[in-house]
Protein backbone atom coordinates (compact mmCIF):
# COMPACT_ATOMS: atom_id res chain seq x y z
CA UNK A 1 0.00 0.00 0.00
CA UNK A 2 2.88 2.40 0.78
CA UNK A 3 4.30 1.83 -2.70
CA UNK A 4 0.92 2.64 -4.24
CA UNK A 5 0.61 5.85 -2.20
CA UNK A 6 4.11 6.90 -3.25
CA UNK A 7 3.30 6.18 -6.88
CA UNK A 8 0.06 8.18 -6.79
CA UNK A 9 1.67 11.13 -5.02
CA UNK A 10 4.70 11.04 -7.34
CA UNK A 11 2.56 10.91 -10.47
CA UNK A 12 0.13 13.61 -9.34
CA UNK A 13 2.84 15.98 -8.14
CA UNK A 14 4.79 15.61 -11.40
CA UNK A 15 1.67 16.02 -13.53
CA UNK A 16 0.63 19.20 -11.72
CA UNK A 17 4.19 20.54 -11.66
CA UNK A 18 4.40 20.59 -15.47
CA UNK A 19 1.04 22.34 -15.99
CA UNK A 20 2.27 25.98 -15.85
CA UNK A 21 3.75 27.04 -19.22
CA UNK A 22 7.53 27.11 -18.97
CA UNK A 23 10.71 26.49 -20.92
CA UNK A 24 10.39 22.69 -20.90
CA UNK A 25 6.76 22.21 -21.88
CA UNK A 26 6.65 25.10 -24.36
CA UNK A 27 9.84 23.79 -25.98
CA UNK A 28 8.20 20.39 -26.42
CA UNK A 29 5.12 22.07 -27.92
CA UNK A 30 7.18 24.13 -30.38
CA UNK A 31 9.23 21.12 -31.46
CA UNK A 32 6.00 19.25 -32.09
CA UNK A 33 4.66 22.06 -34.26
CA UNK A 34 7.85 22.54 -36.27
CA UNK A 35 9.41 19.06 -36.42
CA UNK A 36 6.61 16.62 -35.64
CA UNK A 37 5.55 14.50 -32.71
CA UNK A 38 8.46 12.03 -32.97
CA UNK A 39 11.15 14.62 -32.19
CA UNK A 40 8.96 16.18 -29.52
CA UNK A 41 8.48 12.79 -27.83
CA UNK A 42 12.25 12.14 -27.91
CA UNK A 43 12.76 15.54 -26.33
CA UNK A 44 10.17 14.70 -23.66
CA UNK A 45 11.86 11.36 -22.87
CA UNK A 46 15.12 13.22 -22.27
CA UNK A 47 13.31 15.63 -19.97
CA UNK A 48 11.85 12.72 -18.00
CA UNK A 49 15.26 11.14 -17.43
CA UNK A 50 16.56 14.35 -15.87
CA UNK A 51 13.36 14.83 -13.86
CA UNK A 52 13.66 11.34 -12.38
CA UNK A 53 17.28 12.01 -11.41
CA UNK A 54 16.30 15.31 -9.79
CA UNK A 55 13.42 13.60 -7.98
CA UNK A 56 15.71 10.88 -6.64
CA UNK A 57 18.22 13.42 -5.31
CA UNK A 58 15.44 15.45 -3.70
CA UNK A 59 13.89 12.38 -2.07
CA UNK A 60 17.24 11.34 -0.60
CA UNK A 61 17.47 14.80 0.97
CA UNK A 62 13.88 14.43 2.16
CA UNK A 63 14.71 11.13 3.82
CA UNK A 64 17.44 12.89 5.81
CA UNK A 65 14.99 15.62 6.80
CA UNK A 66 12.45 13.00 7.79
CA UNK A 67 14.93 11.70 10.36
CA UNK A 68 15.32 15.22 11.79
CA UNK A 69 11.83 16.44 12.79
CA UNK A 70 13.07 19.78 14.09
CA UNK A 71 14.26 20.66 10.59
CA UNK A 72 10.90 19.62 9.13
CA UNK A 73 9.04 22.00 11.44
CA UNK A 74 11.19 24.90 10.28
CA UNK A 75 10.88 23.83 6.65
CA UNK A 76 7.10 23.76 6.87
CA UNK A 77 6.95 27.28 8.25
CA UNK A 78 9.23 28.59 5.50
CA UNK A 79 7.29 26.64 2.87
CA UNK A 80 3.99 28.11 4.08
CA UNK A 81 5.28 31.61 3.43
CA UNK A 82 6.59 30.61 0.01
CA UNK A 83 3.34 28.98 -1.08
CA UNK A 84 1.27 31.93 0.13
CA UNK A 85 3.44 34.19 -2.02
CA UNK A 86 3.08 31.82 -4.98
CA UNK A 87 -0.69 31.76 -4.53
CA UNK A 88 -0.87 35.55 -4.58
CA UNK A 89 1.38 35.68 -7.64
CA UNK A 90 -0.47 33.07 -9.72
CA UNK A 91 -3.96 34.29 -8.80
CA UNK A 92 -3.49 38.06 -8.94
CA UNK A 93 -0.22 38.96 -10.73
CA UNK A 94 0.72 36.32 -13.32
CA UNK A 95 -0.38 36.87 -16.91
CA UNK A 96 -3.46 35.03 -18.14
CA UNK A 97 -2.10 32.06 -20.13
CA UNK A 98 -5.09 32.23 -22.48
CA UNK A 99 -3.34 35.14 -24.13
CA UNK A 100 -0.74 34.80 -26.85
CA UNK A 101 1.73 31.92 -26.49
CA UNK A 102 5.40 32.81 -27.11
CA UNK A 103 6.16 32.15 -30.78
CA UNK A 104 9.93 32.45 -30.87
CA UNK A 105 10.85 29.68 -28.42
CA UNK A 106 12.79 27.14 -30.47
CA UNK A 107 15.57 24.79 -29.42
CA UNK A 108 18.45 25.28 -31.84
CA UNK A 109 20.80 22.58 -30.60
CA UNK A 110 22.22 20.30 -33.30
CA UNK A 111 22.33 17.39 -30.90
CA UNK A 112 19.61 14.80 -30.69
CA UNK A 113 16.35 15.90 -29.17
CA UNK A 114 16.70 13.32 -26.40
CA UNK A 115 19.89 14.83 -24.98
CA UNK A 116 18.53 18.29 -25.71
CA UNK A 117 15.60 17.45 -23.44
CA UNK A 118 17.93 16.27 -20.69
CA UNK A 119 19.93 19.48 -20.94
CA UNK A 120 16.93 21.84 -20.92
CA UNK A 121 15.38 20.02 -17.95
CA UNK A 122 18.70 20.24 -16.13
CA UNK A 123 18.58 24.03 -16.36
CA UNK A 124 15.48 23.99 -14.20
CA UNK A 125 16.42 23.40 -10.56
CA UNK A 126 12.94 24.10 -9.16
CA UNK A 127 12.01 20.38 -9.04
CA UNK A 128 14.53 19.86 -6.23
CA UNK A 129 12.86 22.06 -3.56
CA UNK A 130 9.45 21.16 -5.00
CA UNK A 131 9.94 17.43 -4.42
CA UNK A 132 11.50 17.98 -1.00
CA UNK A 133 8.44 19.91 0.10
CA UNK A 134 5.91 17.50 -1.44
CA UNK A 135 7.49 14.38 0.03
CA UNK A 136 8.12 15.85 3.49
CA UNK A 137 4.61 17.29 3.71
CA UNK A 138 2.89 14.03 2.78
CA UNK A 139 5.20 12.02 5.01
CA UNK A 140 4.04 14.10 7.98
CA UNK A 141 0.50 12.89 7.25
CA UNK A 142 1.78 9.32 6.93
CA UNK A 143 1.00 9.14 3.21
CA UNK A 144 4.58 9.04 1.89
CA UNK A 145 7.32 6.54 2.79
CA UNK A 146 11.08 6.72 2.35
CA UNK A 147 11.89 3.03 1.99
CA UNK A 148 13.91 2.10 -1.09
CA UNK A 149 11.05 0.39 -3.00
CA UNK A 150 8.75 3.30 -2.19
CA UNK A 151 11.29 5.85 -3.42
CA UNK A 152 11.76 3.91 -6.66
CA UNK A 153 7.98 3.96 -7.18
CA UNK A 154 7.84 7.74 -6.63
CA UNK A 155 10.78 8.37 -8.97
CA UNK A 156 9.25 6.26 -11.74
CA UNK A 157 5.89 7.95 -11.22
CA UNK A 158 7.49 11.40 -11.47
CA UNK A 159 8.89 10.52 -14.88
CA UNK A 160 5.57 9.07 -16.04
CA UNK A 161 3.54 12.05 -14.83
CA UNK A 162 5.94 14.48 -16.50
CA UNK A 163 5.87 12.57 -19.78
CA UNK A 164 2.06 12.39 -19.92
CA UNK A 165 1.66 16.12 -19.31
CA UNK A 166 4.29 16.90 -21.95
CA UNK A 167 2.47 14.56 -24.34
CA UNK A 168 -0.72 16.55 -23.73
CA UNK A 169 1.14 19.77 -24.57
CA UNK A 170 2.53 18.15 -27.71
CA UNK A 171 -0.86 16.85 -28.81
CA UNK A 172 -2.67 20.13 -28.11
CA UNK A 173 -0.20 22.40 -29.87
CA UNK A 174 0.24 20.01 -32.78
CA UNK A 175 -3.47 20.37 -33.47
CA UNK A 176 -3.08 24.14 -33.28
CA UNK A 177 -0.07 24.21 -35.63
CA UNK A 178 -2.09 25.79 -38.42
CA UNK A 179 -3.46 28.45 -36.08
CA UNK A 180 -0.75 29.42 -33.58
CA UNK A 181 -2.56 32.61 -32.63
CA UNK A 182 -5.44 30.69 -31.07
CA UNK A 183 -5.32 31.38 -27.33
CA UNK A 184 -5.45 28.69 -24.70
CA UNK A 185 -8.96 28.09 -23.39
CA UNK A 186 -7.78 27.49 -19.84
CA UNK A 187 -5.89 29.91 -17.62
CA UNK A 188 -3.22 27.55 -16.29
CA UNK A 189 -1.88 30.13 -13.84
CA UNK A 190 -5.33 30.19 -12.21
CA UNK A 191 -5.20 26.39 -11.85
CA UNK A 192 -1.74 26.36 -10.30
CA UNK A 193 -2.75 29.26 -8.02
CA UNK A 194 -5.65 27.19 -6.70
CA UNK A 195 -3.32 24.23 -6.16
CA UNK A 196 -0.81 26.32 -4.18
CA UNK A 197 -3.70 27.79 -2.17
CA UNK A 198 -4.85 24.29 -1.20
CA UNK A 199 -1.28 23.31 -0.27
CA UNK A 200 -0.98 26.48 1.82
CA UNK A 201 -4.17 25.64 3.71
CA UNK A 202 -3.01 22.08 4.37
CA UNK A 203 0.38 23.28 5.60
CA UNK A 204 -1.15 25.99 7.80
CA UNK A 205 -3.55 23.46 9.32
CA UNK A 206 -0.66 21.13 10.11
CA UNK A 207 1.45 23.90 11.67
CA UNK A 208 -1.34 25.25 13.89
CA UNK A 209 -2.33 21.74 14.88
CA UNK A 210 1.16 21.19 16.29
CA UNK A 211 1.21 24.43 18.27
Residue 84 has pLDDT above 70, yes or no: yes
Pseudo-torsion of CA 29, 86, 49, 113, nearest 10°? 30
Say how far apart CA 18 and CA 21 lie, in whole Å. Answer: 7
User: Using CB atoms within 10 A of its CB, is residue 78 exposed (0-12), middle (13-18) or buried (19+)?
Assistant: exposed
65-74: pLDDT as tens digits: 777 766 766 7
Secondary structure (DSSP) of 24-80: HHHHHHHHHHHH-HHHHHHHHHHHHHHHHHHHHHHHHHHHHHHT-HHHHHHHHHHHH
The residue with greater pLDDT, 16 or 97, is: 16
Mean pLDDT, the chain, rounded, equals: 79
Say how far apart CA 23 and CA 152 lie, in whole Å. Answer: 27
Residue 10 has pLDDT above 70, yes or no: yes
Percent over 70 (pLDDT), the chain? 76
The pLDDT, as a whole number, for residue 204 is 80
3-state SS track over 141-160:
CCCCCCCHHHHHHHHHHHHH
The pLDDT, as a whole number, for residue 95 is 63
93-136: pLDDT as tens digits: 766 655 554 444 444 444 578 888 898 888 777 788 788 888 88
The pLDDT, as a whole number, for residue 176 is 60
Closest CA to 174 of 16, 41, 24, 21: 41
The residue with greater pLDDT, 108 or 137, is: 137
150-203: pLDDT as tens digits: 999 999 999 999 999 999 888 887 666 545 455 455 565 676 677 778 877 877
Closest CA to 78 of 200, 166, 187, 182: 200
Q: What is the pTM of this model?
A: 0.68
33-53: pLDDT as tens digits: 777 788 889 999 999 999 999
Amino acid sequence: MAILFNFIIGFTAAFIGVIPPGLVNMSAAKISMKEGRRNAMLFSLGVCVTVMLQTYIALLLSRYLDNNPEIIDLLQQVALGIFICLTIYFLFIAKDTRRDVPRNLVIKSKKTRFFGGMFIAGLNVLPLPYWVYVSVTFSVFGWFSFGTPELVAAVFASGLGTFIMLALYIHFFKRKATSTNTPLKVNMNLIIGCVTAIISLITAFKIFKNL
